[in-house]
Amino acid sequence: MHRSSVDTISGTADYLICPNCRKALRRQERKISVSLPITRGPSAFIPEKELVPANAVDERTTWLVEEYSASGRLDNITHVMSLHPQYLEYFLRTQFYMLRMEGPLPLHYRHYIAIMAAARHQCSYLINLHNDEFLKTRGDPEWLKGLEYVPQRLRNLNEINKLLAHRPWLVTKEHIQSLVKTGQNNWSLAELVHAVVLLAHYHALASFVFGSGINPESDQDPPNGFRPEPVNNFCACDLANDNTIINAALTSNNFGSTDSASELETLMERMKRLQEDREDEEASQAEMATRFEKEKKESLLVISAAYDDDLVSSSTASRYIEDPGFGYKDFARRGEEHPPTFRAQDYSWEDHGFSLVNRLYSDIGHLLDDKFRTVYNLTYNTMATHEDVDTTMLRRALFNYVHCMFGIRYDDYDYGEVNQLLERSLKVYIKTVTCYPERTTKRMYDGYWRQFKHSEKVHVNLLLMEARMQAELLYALRAITRHLT
């Protein structure tokens, strides 16, 4: 017998029953906090048998970890990323350069900035990791008590940290000017670029941590073997957090079928048809602009109703941030003034951002560029059970959909492809991982591309992470360029 997603206890409307755990909840008890048992292995979403055993990783990966891992061991993030060793090499090299090699910022500053960035998404995994690294680089333990204990110049990064994490389109040249103005607490442009790269990197890495269900390291485990969840995180009890909205999105898709086999075949057919249509007829620039605006507005409808409430930070994270209630708001909200679309041909990574960041923070541009290109071009020419498949169209749709949610438009891209290729449950997942990563659930992860391999879903997370980082950098570097001119 089909059970309603919401049951009401007989005789009163004051209680609701969760359809999963059958727990009775007062209506006013919604948005509770629960503790979830830690599953074994590096990821709570990926079965351990699907990952390469730690003692069986290839020699190249072992060497990379020894040379470039911050911890010097195969941590859980690296373990999951090792499903894609070609990408892992560029990731570890870039992160090592930002954290350990010669650069504008002192080492302990770098780890503290990583903590501040991770705290915007309540990412205790990264906070704990960099707490340890901060102390190893002779950082003052007092600073770990909270922002009121750090130098004013570090506290001055709060505003740009907040904006980049949640609404990067609001960053202006005035924010840059306020940080580099003369005075004892000012930042040089080189220092600021280093800080911005770190902030964007760790915001995006928090998306990967939550999107891939990364478990705490064994030495991060609380003594009772349970992980406290942030107050507003979607928990195992769907009803407690209004997850019925999510359920509706996950049980329907714009392919018109919930059967995973037919879902895959439909996606393959749509890719083939889009390729044929592209060869037959090219849309006009006006039509392409219209399709972008339509997709941007439709992204408003993807789970945003579930997120109108403010975030409540966990106690660990809250000490490192100010204005914890500030979160993502849709770029094109109804009835509000919003910034003009960021047109990629006016300011792109390839033509503008790369050269600026490389000039102010030597060689980081090359490392970032290699990382962006590698994840974007990464392919094994497979899709679930199919081989010899050109997945370029799908990878571009994933990357461009993230940028679309941040108001960035590519004039040469037909955004009609996004709606054809990304079904609704995948859009729910993308938006959550990119904009509210701390609210990602295993149900969301399991709910899309059900025939696909876990390695393919990790590739999706890598694309989302890099697309998000590039979007943040584009807005920040554009603001710096405007300050310079």
Closest-CA residue to 408 (of 301, 337, 332): 332
Residue pointed to by tokens 């960041």: 357
* 307's tokens: 């997120």
149, 456 in Cβ contact below 8 A? no
| Cα 71 to Cα 268: distance, rounded to the nearest angstrom | 41
Residue pointed to by tokens 């075949």: 265
Neighbours of 183 (CB within 10 A): 8
Active site (annotated) includes residue 123: yes
Which of the residues 18, 21, 123, 435 is marked catalytic? 123
For 384, what's the count of Cα atoms within 13 Å in the CB-facing half-sphere? 14
Beta-carbon contacts of 42 under 8 Å, excluding residues fewer than 6 positions away, are 48, 51, 76, 77, 79, 80, 214, 215
Q: What is the 3-class SS of the chain, one letter each residue?
A: CCCCCCEECCCCCCEEECCCCCCEEEHHHCCCCCEEECCCCCECCCCHHHCCCHHHCCHHHHHHHHHHCCCCCCCHHHHHHCCCHHHHHHHHHHHHHHHHCCCCCCHHHHHHHHHHHHHCCCCHHHHHHHHHHHHHCCCCHHHHHCHHHCCHHHHCCHHHHHHHHHCHHHCCHHHHHHHHCCCCCCCCHHHHHHHHHHHHHHHHHHHHHHHCCECCCHHHCCCCCEEECCCCCCCCCHHHHCCHHHHHHHCCCCCCCCCHHHHHHHHHHHHHHHHHHHHHCCCCHHHHHHHHHHHHHHHHHCCHHHHCCCCCCCHHHHCCCCCCCCCCCCCCCCCCCCCCCEECCCCCHHHHHHHHHHHHCCCHHHHHHHHHHHHHHCCCCEECCEECCCCHHHHHHHHHHHHHHCCEECCCCCCHHHHHHCCHHHHHHHHHHHHCHHHCCHHHHHCCCCCCCHHHHHHHHHHHHHHHHHHHHHHHHHHHHHHHC
Question: Dihedral sign, CA of 201, 207, 210, 211?
Answer: negative
Strand-pair category, 342-343 with 408-409 = parallel
* Active-site residue list: 123
